[in-house]
Amino acid sequence: MSLNQVDLAVSASWIIPVVPTGRTLENSALIINQGKIIDIVLQSELAKRYHVNELVELEQHVLIPGLVNAHGHAAMSLLRGYADDLQLQPWLEQHIWPAEARLLSEAFVRDGTELAIAEMLLSGTSCFSDMYFFPEVAAEVARESGIRAQLAFPILDFATAWASGPEEAIHKGLSLHDRYRSSDRIGVAFGPHAPYTVGDESLRKVVTLAEELQIPLQIHLHETADEVEQALKHSGMRPSQRLAELGLLSPLSQCVHMTQVDDGDITLLQNSGAHVIHCPNSNMKLASGACPVTRLLDAGVNVALGTDGAASNNGLNMLSEMRQAALLAKVESGNASAVHAHQALYMATMAGAKALGLDKVCGSLELGKAADICAIDLSGLAQQPMYNPVSQIVYSHCRASDVWVAGQRLLENGVLTRINQEQLVNTAQQWREKVVNV
């Protein structure tokens, strides 16, 4: 009998496909051809059914879908640790915005984005969403790196280093969308920054264009109690209500943070099909509040995870984000069973893919999907003894050993295959000198 010729097989002690939920496969292998998963077989059946051009055998490893970081500001990695232990507004107004005013450039975005992508790959992320200036530069860095990305181009009602106002930002963003329209890894989204920085006229234009082109949109929403309080004083409406009346809440919408949520907000999210991006580490560090994840999930709202930027998180590790999301949900709800390990893994993979409109492409290890895969080493002392690999991934301190995106190996045994890590560290140190001396 002739064997089927395929590009790649990756075998491991455990495979957690995420869909269907709760399933763990033992001693199995993913079969990959032309960048897609075409089969999952027992290791004992592999040689009987396939002739494999490349076989990767990972003992004491678990394969999961590549993690999806659904919100961040990649270039701000160059401001990691620059201003700590502050509330959001003084952190932004007294430190981050003045630093950006001095330093923001294409070079800043290029180097900061490459630093962020390297860090994300090293911790198992295969897809990320970014909202920052000069998104065309970030898109090019993402393309060169091999990672999957959504670039949410920033829209604000005032001039920035990238655009003179909302009209130019939208024009540039749509040009970027046209440039990557046929890309299989780089997508573009609208990024109206927040209800307090974008007026009704600009938001209506975003709604019209997003619906017409079926492009996602991402917005910071209900990030702090002060944001909601100021909106009520100004308009008599909570920000979510205003966005709903403008038509901005829909299945295309990615609502980032949502730490200040009441029953009315949940109903609006539930009825609109909008997604929530939960950033637990950043929200805790800035004392912004806690997203009521359990209540949102109970209402059927899709909740994904994001790291936010390294300037407010100090890391871009989605393995850490999963753990914090699960633990914070238990504290916030008073229920130790809230956001169990499988739910946390789902939030970091499939829920993120859904929020970004990529659930047909990635987020789970299903036949026909892109081979976006993360391998995690479970052989260490901190993972022993092994009772439940999903629990170990979420609650113990693990490391990603390998990452594939569309079948391309971007991380191999803990080493980046396309990015020079030593050179990147040197570049980051050079930026530190500029940040403190300019």
- Do the beta carbons of residue 282 and residue 326 sit within 8 Å? no
DSSP single-letter state for residue 285: H
**The domain that contains 349 carries what CATH number?**
3.20.20.140
Q: Is the domain of 29 the same as that of 120?
A: no
Cα separation, 264 vs 271, in Å, equals 11
Q: Is the domain of 92 the same as that of 27?
A: no
- Do the beta carbons of residue 325 and residue 279 sit within 8 Å? no
Structure tokens at 230: 């100021």
- pLDDT score recorded for residue 437: 83
Q: Is the domain of 60 the same as that of 92?
A: no
- Is 0.95 topped by the overall pTM? yes
**Helices 135-145/166-179 angle, 10° precision:** 20
- pLDDT score recorded for residue 266: 98
Helix ranges (DSSP H) in 289-382:
293-298, 310-313, 318-333, 341-347, 350-355
Report the candidate in 30, 89, 87 with the shortest Cα–Cα distance to residue 54: 30
Residue 72 maps to a domain: yes
- pLDDT score recorded for residue 97: 87
DSSP single-letter state for residue 78: G
Q: Is the domain of 35 the same as that of 167?
A: no
Residue 435 has pLDDT above 70, yes or no: yes
For residue 86, with 0-12 CB atoms within 10 Å meaning exposed, 13-18 middle and 19 or more buried, which class applies? middle
Cα separation, 409 vs 432, in Å, equals 31
Residue 281 maps to a domain: yes
Q: Is the domain of 264 the same as that of 308?
A: yes
- pLDDT score recorded for residue 267: 98
Q: Is the domain of 263 the same as that of 302?
A: yes
10-19 pLDDT, tens digit each: 999 999 999 9
Q: Is the domain of 199 the same as that of 257?
A: yes
Q: Is the domain of 349 the same as that of 401?
A: no
Cα separation, 435 vs 89, in Å, equals 20
Q: Is the domain of 190 the same as that of 44?
A: no
Residue 208 maps to a domain: yes
Residue 437 maps to a domain: no
Q: Is the domain of 183 the same as that of 119?
A: yes
- pLDDT score recorded for residue 3: 81
Show the domain range for 379.
4-65+371-406
171-193 pLDDT, tens digit each: 999 999 999 999 999 999 999 99
Q: Is the domain of 44 the same as that of 136?
A: no
Residue 430 maps to a domain: no
Q: Is the domain of 377 the same as that of 326?
A: no
Q: How many domains does the chain have?
A: 2
DSSP characters over 196-225: TTS-HHHHHHHHHHHHHHT--EEEEES-SH
> Mean pLDDT, to the nearest integer, of 405-424?
97
